Structure 1
Amino acid sequence: MTTSTNSGVGVLNKASEIIDALQGGPATSAEIADLTGLPRSTVHRLALALERLRLLSRDRQSRFVLGPRLGELVVEACRDPLLAVAGPVLDRLCDETGTSARLYRRMGSVRVCLMSAEPGIEARQTESAGAAFPMKSGAAAQALLAWEDPDQLYQGLLGAQFSAAMLAGVRRQGWAQSVHGRPATIASVAAPVRSPNNRVVAALALSGPAELLARRPALSYGRTVMNAAVRLGQELVR
């Protein structure tokens, strides 16, 4: 794997290749080395350095994943009217449903949590805010991708856990849903947030225990999330 740009500084190019490799999901040092073609010792040394900088972190299996600092940088770079008006909408959605409410924005091949409201906690930059996730699974990823142009759709579906038919259903219904975990314990429902020119700029999502959100979560909460996403989009016009 090679990076899309060359900084002219070898160590930065290698670090960028490691970060690029993790956009597809968690990986061990050996797996990153296979993906990038870099020596395992180099991958291990640079990954540890990136971890200290919080550009990488570890999952429960000690695999490397994209770190919180990447998402925090995105959040800082994306200060805009959306974040200024999102808090009350997320708080209300969380209160209405008793589940976690989160706002995501797509940044290339990852979705970044911009803001999160948890039951009993006002919407703030909580520990969920700044977290980055691959655009390959989850209701929020579907809501962010479904209205993209054909080329973006094709690229987004490569290796995804959802299909073109599922995204067609998202466009038809206006919401996306995902039930995951082994056994299926977590469910999420998401809807697109649109700018005044009708462009999808974010996704508003609920996430919680599957037994709370119901077996087919969108049947219970799809309309609620859609209405909240519409309200948030309307706030951008004011």
Structure 2
Amino acid sequence: MTGTATGRPSSGVGVLDKTSLLLGVLAGGPASLRTLSDVTGLSRATVHRLALALESIRLLTRDAQGRFLIGPRIGELADEAGRDRLLQGADAVLADLRVRTGASARLYRRQGDLRICVATAEGPGTGRQARSALGVALPMKAGAGAQALLAWEDPDELGRAMRGAGFGAVTLTNVRRQGWAQSLGAGELGFAAVAVPVRGAAGRVVAALVLDGPVTLLSRAPGRLHGGLLIDAAARLGAGLT
């Protein structure tokens, strides 16, 4: 990347440089067409054309006053970029949870109607290795992990995802209020689980952190027993993504 006479970075591709100028202004908050033109030095016609194009691919959006602001696709791309960082920090956090609780600690990501186990630390003698091993896909219709991944979804997506689920809106309201989800026997009789969301850029839920094990180990109230511990661990994971 080269520089311009004004000291602004330049890629040598005009449309990219102009887009970079717009995004740089909007990083500070919403701005009108006039403000974008005044700050960047670009003509209103150029700003309008670029802003509409960026809006069409969700890199920009508008607020209630019609001002432009950073769009949702930016956050989604930031989440994607943070995926490797999430896994880099996962092993140590999961191992610590296993030692402190004796339960299995796992990290799940959502892929459509499935949740995929992307990291795991098996608790001694918990007996669920086959069901919840690394890479195993589980449905989003039951379990604490599914609830933690869905509870903060937008209403339209939530309604679609919950069709046929073994939990309802009241359950997810409680998850949002408590900050954790729990389940008893959702995947296997005699087992309990507690889960919390892991948040990435802009507070988006990017994964679920889950403890599971026999009810005799986690009790019939695993959320009360370990919810706070799990929330702190999820915060440590999320700190590396923002």
**TM-score, structure 2 normalization:** 0.61
| Cα gap change, 1:141 to 1:212, in 2 (>3 Å) | same
- Contact 1:147/1:200, CA 8 A, preserved across alignment: yes
Displacement after TM superposition at 1:181 (Å): 6.0
Question: For the residues of structure 1 that align with 2:226 and 2:187, how far apart are their CA atoms?
Answer: 22
Percentage of pairs with the same residue: 52
2:208 corresponds, among 191, 203, 206, to 203
Please give the residue correspondences for 1:99-138 in structure 2 after superposition, counting only pairs within 5 Å.
99-119=103-123, 128-138=133-143
Deviation digits for residues 36-63 of structure 1 (CA, Å, limit 9, x no counterpart): xxxxxxxxxxxxxxxxxxxxxxxxxxxx
What corresponds to 1:176 in structure 2? 181
Stretches (4+) displaced over 3 A:
181-184
Question: For the residues of structure 1 that align with 2:112 and 2:84, how far apart are their CA atoms?
Answer: 18
> How many corresponding residue pairs?
157
Displacement after TM superposition at 1:79 (Å): 5.8
Return the letter of the residue paired with 1:104.
Y
Please give the residue correspondences for 1:10-159 in structure 2 after superposition, counting only pairs within 5 Å.
80-119=84-123, 128-159=133-164
Deviation digits for residues 207-227 of structure 1 (CA, Å, limit 9, x no counterpart): 000111111111101111111
| Cα gap change, 1:216 to 1:154, in 2 (>3 Å) | same
Question: For the residues of structure 2 that align with 1:141 and 1:190, how far apart are their CA atoms?
Answer: 9
Return the letter of the residue paired with 1:219.
R
**TM-score, structure 1 normalization:** 0.62
- Contact 1:188/1:208, CA 8 A, preserved across alignment: yes
Please say if 1:213 is aligned against 2:238. no
Question: For the residues of structure 2 that align with 1:182 and 1:97, how far apart are their CA atoms?
Answer: 20
What corresponds to 1:233 in structure 2? 238
| Cα gap change, 1:194 to 1:79, in 2 (>3 Å) | closer
Greater Cα radius of gyration, structure 1 or 2: 2
Which runs of 5 or more structure 2 residues have no equivalent in the other structure?
1-81
Return the letter of the residue paired with 2:108.
Y
RMSD (Å) for aligned C-alpha atoms? 2.3
| Cα gap change, 1:151 to 1:81, in 2 (>3 Å) | same
Return the letter of the residue paired with 2:101.
T
- Contact 1:104/1:114, CA 8 A, preserved across alignment: yes
Which runs of 5 or more structure 1 residues have no equivalent in the other structure?
1-77
Displacement after TM superposition at 1:182 (Å): 9.6
Question: For the residues of structure 2 that align with 1:182 and 1:111, how far apart are their CA atoms?
Answer: 13
Displacement after TM superposition at 1:235 (Å): 2.5
